[in-house]
Amino acid sequence: MVDRFGDGRAGIDAQLVKRLVKAQFPQWADLPVRPVEFDGWDNRTYRLGDEMSVRLPTHESYLPAVDKEHRWLPVLAPQLPVPIPRPIAKGEPGEGYPFEWAVRGWLDGETARADRIDDISAFAVAVAEFIQALQRIDASGGPRAGEHSFFRGASPAYYDGETRRSLAVLGDRVDTDRAMDVWQAALGATWDGDPVWFHGDIAEGNILVRDGRLAAVLDFGTSGVGDPACDLVIAWTFFSGASRQAFRGAVDQDAETWARARGWALWKALLGLAQNVDADHGDEVVAAGQRVVEEVLADHELLG
């Protein structure tokens, strides 16, 4: 049964969602089920009626997020400056689908994109203020960084082997010596502060905008308590120039946290490049990854 969903997508569709809802939540059986515009890889998401959404993990490794978000999102929500998903119900395996799944309140907005934002520097400050508000929340008893967060919130050293293998695959497609300088700086900048809440995947696909402004933050599946450096990666993946400077100033993190953040950004970009550099369909991913790598290297040399 699990193998049917092992590729992360196959077997999950609107008809499956309708069957699951009808069997387990018959009060919503007559509501329409529609795919969302921007769908992730870890979960498939569908709109249920006008007020709810349904999220189904695509692999067992993403399953811990269902219970974690159901437990902690209501704790975090009142202390944050913009809405986050509201848990409504948890579904059980059924109808050939092997995992628990979630019903959430629907949040209006469009995924973040530069042409949807009125003032990108003001938007950068709003994202930074969200991160700071998250860090101020009492982390006592929160889920410590680990396997459930894919080691976001822990040391980037967990991905040392993967980073080095990616560099080996890429060869002279990137400046290996400069990249290793960034990576070694990240590994040497150890976290010794008190654990704080982190989101784990602050990225444009998990941020909603409405009327040109920050409207909501989605997908806390990799959240937890630990080192917040992973939440700074958006500085290179989405912001640049003045907006990056605005984000850097507003988020107010120390130099060692920025060093680890560059490591997180470099690891993810190198991994994406290594997986797509020879793919016929990977041009856009490769171009984005190369841009992130170059900007991270330049940032390290300027500020590191």
User: From start to end of the chain, where are the E strands?
Assistant: 33-35, 43-48, 52-57, 87-91, 101-105, 110-111, 196-198, 207-210, 213-217, 224-226
The span from the CA of 256 to the CA of 262, in Å, is: 10
Q: Cβ(25)–Cβ(91) under 8 Å?
A: yes
* CA-closest candidate to residue 149, choices 190, 104, 198: 198
Q: Which residues pair with 56 in a beta bridge?
A: 44
Q: Are 127 and 172 in contact (CB under 8 A)?
A: no
What confidence score (pLDDT) does residue 37 get? 78
- Whether this prediction's pTM lies above 0.75 is answered by yes
Largest Cα span, the chain? 60
What b/e readout covers 182-220, taking b as 16+ CB neighbours within 10 angstroms? bbebbbebebeeebbbbbbbbbbebbbbeeeebbbbbbb
- pLDDT value for 277: 80
Show the domains of the chain with their CATH numbers.
Answer: 2-106 (3.30.200.20), 111-303 (3.90.1200.10)
DSSP at 87: E
Whole-Å CA distances, 141 to 137, 198, 270: 12, 14, 34
Predicted confidence at residue 276, as pLDDT, reads: 86
103-158 tens-digit pLDDT: 999 999 999 999 999 999 999 999 999 999 999 999 999 999 999 999 999 999 99
pLDDT at 10: 54
The residues of the chain scoring below 50 in pLDDT are 1-8
Separation CA 196–CA 44 (nearest Å): 29
Residue 169's pLDDT is 94
Could you tell me which of 263, 205, 272, 206 has the C-alpha nearest to residue 236?
A: 263
Instruction: Give the model's pLDDT for residue 9.
Output: 55
d(CA 233, CA 292): 10
